[in-house]
Amino acid sequence: MTTKEYDIRYERSAFLLLSLGFGLVGLDRWIISPLFPSMMKELGLDYQDLGNIIGVLGLAWGCSSLLMGGLSDRLGRRKVLVGSIVFFSVCSLLTGMVGGLVSLLLVRVVMGVTEGAFSPTAVAATAEASRPERRGLNMGIQQSTFALFGVGLGPDRVTRA
């Protein structure tokens, strides 16, 4: 494609929405840790349980990224992105409604699968939507939102509440 074939408005909209989505993934990933003391008390968890909660999400995310990145190449980015955002949002809601360790672990596994589906697909979609001269900048900003939202907005806000 030449520069004239790129739709600047589409590029900006896609970049903004995908960056926001990736930031929300980061926020979810980091916001749970400051909640651990309350979760330990309410759900009767110990430190090993907390490590498992973090671990299952990370393992599910990694495995899902490997599989879903390729699947989004075949099925189309939009289907994977929309599906992952919907299920990610439901899992986020369910995380606050669980009544015990097993249900929390199951929800976090599903959340890891959906976040793992979103991440490589969002990066690829941003690369496709971006003009070649803006691709690196757009992808860099998008990937920075994980930490900016996750660490910048997450734990500090919860610990002050």
C-beta neighbour count of 142 within 10 angstroms = 24
Render pLDDT for 1-25 as a digit per residue (tens, 0 to 9). 454 577 899 999 999 999 999 999 9
Residue 156 has a pLDDT of: 59
Which pTM does this prediction carry?
0.86
Residue ranges for the chain with pLDDT beneath 50:
1, 3
CB 60 within 8 A of CB 104: no
Task: Round to whole Å and give the CA distance between 3 and 36.
Answer: 49
